């Protein structure tokens, strides 16, 4: 009736440290992913990223979700706890956002080009 994709079974051994978990429960079963989650949580606390506040009666709780990715980093994996922002209202649930998406070398390049063109 619908789309069907048969399961593929691998004949060779799988390195569980090289698989991205599909849930936090699955990640907690692997020591390296559990450590990565702990490091992410500690970074959020250390950077004062959020604070607990009483929930006003007319508001809903904004959920969060763990995102797991294998990346080319010294540790080899990244776990991020992200807010489900599609439920947020500016000025009520948050007042500012910040996400560094540009590298300092890119800024220097753009400024150099701007200076060369007066």
pLDDT by residue for the chain (118 residues), tens only, comes to 567 666 555 444 445 556 788 888 988 898 888 888 898 888 888 888 877 788 888 887 877 888 888 776 665 656 676 766 556 666 665 666 666 677 788 889 999 999 999 8
Q: What are 116's strand-pairing partners?
A: none
pLDDT for 12? 46
Residue 79 has a CB neighbour count (10 Å cut-off) of 22
7 falls within a domain = no
Each residue's pLDDT tens digit, 17-34: 567 888 889 888 988 888
Is residue 10 in a domain? no
Does residue 11 fall inside a structural domain?
Answer: no
Does 2 reside within a domain? no
How many domains does the structure of the chain reveal? 1
What pLDDT is attached to residue 84?
60
**Domain range holding 25?**
16-49+58-116
CA distance 81 to 97: 16
In a domain, 20, yes or no: yes
Decide if 24 contacts 37 (C-beta within 8 A): yes
Of 62, 70, 58, which is closest to residue 18 (Cα–Cα)?
A: 70
Residue-level pLDDT at 11: 44
Comparing CA positions, the residue from 62, 79, 75 lying closest to residue 26 is 79
């Amino acid at each position: 009736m619908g789309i069907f994709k048969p399961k593929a079974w691998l004949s060779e051994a799988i390195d569980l440290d090289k698989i991205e978990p599909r849930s936090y429960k699955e990640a907690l079963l692997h020591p390296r992913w559990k450590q990565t989650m702990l490091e992410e949580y500690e970074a959020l606390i250390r950077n004062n990223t959020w604070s607990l506040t009483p929930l006003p009666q007319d508001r809903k709780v904004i959920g969060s979700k763990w995102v797991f990715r294998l990346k080319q980093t010294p540790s080899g994996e990244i776990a991020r706890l992200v807010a489900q922002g599609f439920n947020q209202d500016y000025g009520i649930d948050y007042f500012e956002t910040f996400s560094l998406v540009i590298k300092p070398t890119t800024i220097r390049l753009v400024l150099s080009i701007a200076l060369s063109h007066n």
